[in-house]
Structure 1
Amino acid sequence: MRRVVEIWPFRATVRYSRELAEALRTETVGGIVMLFATLAALIWANVSFASYEALRTATFGPAFLHLDLELRQWAQNGLLTIFFFVAGIEVKEEFVHGELANLRKAALPVLASICGMVVPALVYLLVSWGAPEAGRGWAIPTATDIAFALAVLAVTASAMPAALRAFLLTCAVVDDLGAIGVIAVFFTEHLNLLALAAGAVAIALYGLLQARRVRGLWAYLPLALLAWYFVEISGVHATVAGVALGLMTRVHSGPGEERSPAELADHRLRPLSAGFVVPVFAFLSAGVVLDAEGLGAIFDDRVVLGVVAGLVVGKFLGVFGGAWLAVRLGLARLSEELHWRDMAAVSILAGIGFTVSLLIGGLAYGHDPERTNAVTTGVLVASLVSSVLAAILLRVRVRNHVSAQDDV
C-alpha cells in the first residue's frame, strides 16, 4: 500500500503534464495562453509601468561572450528561436507533404500570402509618408500571427470546411518564411562574416547528421546552440538560425523510426513554444500604457496609423486580392467547399499581426522607446479589430454553411 501511495502522485503528475502538453498543441489553448499573457502585461504596465520596464530591461548573461542582454532581448533573440524552429519545420512539412508540395494547390495560398505582404507594406508607406523615420517600419504590418489567427478560427468557426483552415495555415507558413527573410535582409546593420560563416557551418553539420540519420539529442543540441550563438553575434537576428535548423530537419521517417525527426521535434517543442516561449515574449513585449495619450498616438502618429491601416485594410486587400488574382489568372482554383465570402472573412483574420509584428516593431524602433510603445499599441489595436471583424463574419458564414447543408 505504501508503494502505491508514493507512486500514485508521480503518475498523476505525468498524466496531467501529458494532457497539458496535448492541449497546448491545439491552436485554441495556445492562443488563449498568449492572450492571458498579453492581458497580464497590459495590467502590470498600467498599474506600475516603472516596475514592468525594470523587469524587461534587466540585463544578465556572460559579457565576455557578448550575451549580456536585456530580458526582453533574451525573449526576442533566444526564446523566439524555438518558435521559429517550429515554424521552419512547418514550412518544410508543407513543402514536402502539404499544400506547397503541389504547385497547383500551392498557387492560391502562396500568391495570397505574397500579396498579403506587399500590399500592407504599400498601404503603410502611403499612410505614413513624410513621418519621421517612417521607412523603418514598413515591414511591421506584413506579418500574420499564426497562433492567434488559427485560435480565432478554431473558436468562432470550427464548423467551417477544412479547406479554409488549410488555406490560412499555408498562408501563415509562407508569411513566416517571408518575415524571417525580411528580418535577415533588412534588419542586419552590422555583419560579422566570420561569425556568420561559423553559424552556417554548424547548421550544415546539423543537416548532414540529419541526412545520415544520426539519432540522439546529444548530437544535435550542441550544434543548435552553436548555430544560435554564432548567428546571434554575427549581427543577423538569431531567429534566422531557428528557421534554418527547422528547414534542415528531416521530415521522412527512416527504418525503425515510428516518427520522422521533424514530427518528433514538433511534438515535443510545440507545447513549449505555445505554452511558454510565445507567452513570455508577449508578456515582455505587449506592456504599454493605455491612456488617452497612448491611444491618441494612433491618430496623431502617422507611423502608428500606417501600421493599423496596413494590418486591418492592407492585409485584407492583399490576401483576398492575391487569391482572387490567382484564380482569375487560371493559376489556381477555389475549393468547391468555399465561397468568396469565406475568403473575405479569413483575409480579414490575416490582419492579426501580433508576435512577428511586435518583433519587427522592436527591431525597427528599438532605439526609440516612445515610438516602440506607440507601434506596439497600434499592433494590439489592429489585431483586436481584425479579430472582432473576422469573428463576426466567420459566425455569419458558419450559419450560412449550416443552412445550406440543412437545405440539402
Structure 2
Amino acid sequence: MSKKPEATIETLRISRLAHKGDGVADTESGQIFVPYTLEGELVSAKVLGQRGELQEVLEPSEQRIAPICKHYGTCGGCSLQHMGEASYKAFKRQQVIDALAARAIEAPVDDVVLCQNRSRRRAVFAAVKAGHKILFGYHTAKSNMLVDIEECPVIAPEIMKAVPSLRKLAGQILNHKDELKFTVTTTLNGLDLAIDGMGKNKEKHYFDLSQQAVAIDLARLSVDGETIIEIRQPLLDMSGISVPIPAGGFIQAVLSAEQTMGELIEEGLSGCKRVADLFCGAGTLSFKIAQKTNVHAVEGEASSVKAFDQAVRGAKGLKKVTSERRDLFRRPIVAKELDNFGKGYDGVVFDPPRAGAMAQAQELAKSPVKKIVAVSCSPASFARDLRTLLDGGFKIKRVVPIDQFLYSPHVEVVALLERTS
C-alpha cells in the first residue's frame, strides 16, 4: 500500500495572483496556490500537492492591510480583505481584462466601481446543531464546517442585528442531522426571511415559526417556498417603483450597484424607442428603462413575472410596459421576433445567470437590434457572449466592472455595445 504524501513547510515567493485571488508561487515542481497572499510576498506555507496553507508572511507587500473582520481566514465568505484598495481594484479589473483577452477581445475597461461596507442587502446563512450548540453563519472555505458568526462587515446592519434572533429560531426548529439555509433580505417593510431544508419537519413548527416571525418583527417568513406568515408585504424600491419581491427571488446584491447599472443602461440605450429586457427578474432594471422607453420584460421564473406584473399595475409615470414568461435558455427570442418586420426592438438589455446567454446572444447577433447593454456576474460567460455579438457586427463602446461582491474574487460587469454593420 502506497504511503500518503505528507505536507511540508516551504518558503515561497508569490509571483502573481490567480483568478480566484490565491497567490501563485512558481517552483521547480510546478505551481503552488497559497490563499491570503499578495504578489511579490515571501511566505512560509504548509504545502501538499499544489495547495499551500499560509503559515507566515516573511516579506509583506506594501499593499497588505489588516483584515477588518475577526472571522477572516476561517469564514469562506471573504478572501481578499488583506488587499489594499489599489491592488484590490486592480485585481477585480484584471479579472475582466483577462476574460476578454481569452476571447481575443481588446477593449478599454473602466476602473472598478466600488460599493461600501455593510451595503449587501441579502445574506444566505447556514444553520446546524453541534451538540447542544447552534452554529449559525457561513461555511469555511472548501469545507462543510460552519463558522458561527459574530460580525460581518459586508451585510446590512439590519441583517446582522437580527442574527441572534435567527440563531434562536434555528435552535427551535433544527433536527440534529439537518442543515437549514436562511436567506435574509432587507426590504422597505423590514426583513424577508426564507428558510429552506425543513421538509415535512415544518408542519409541526408552524406555530413556533409564526410566533418567532412576530417576535423578530419580520415582514414575511417563508419555508421551502411556502409563505408561513406575511405581516407586511416585502417591497423593494426599483427606480421609484415598489416591487413585491418573491421569497428568495433574484435581486441585485447592492442598491448602489443597481443604480450604477441603471445609469449605464440609460447611457447605452440613448435614442432607443423600444427595448427588450431579457432575464429581467422582478424588474431590477426594467423600471429604469421604462422611465424613458417602451419596454418588454422577459423572465422564466413564474414568481418573478407575477411580482413584476403586480408592480406594473400600481406604477405611474412609465412608458408602455409589457411582460412575458419565457425560458430564454430553451426558447430564446429569435432574430425574426426581434425585428418584427422592422417594428421590433432597437435596444436590448440582458442580465442572465452565471452560465450566460449563449443561445440568446446568437440570435441577437443575427438581428437588426442597434444597441445592447450586456450585464453579467461571470466575466468568462460574459466574454463568450460578447465574442458572439462582436462577430455579428457589434462594437464595444464601454466596459465597466462593478464590485457588489465585496472582498470576494467575483465581479459584476456591464458592457455597452452598438451595431456597426
Larger radius of gyration: 2
| Structure possessing the higher relative contact order (Cα contacts under 8 Å, 6 or more residues apart) | 1
* Higher strand fraction (1 or 2): 2
- With normalisation by structure 2, the TM-score equals 0.21
Structure with the higher fraction of residues in helix conformation: 1
Normalising by the residue count of structure 1, what TM-score does the alignment of the two structures yield?
0.21
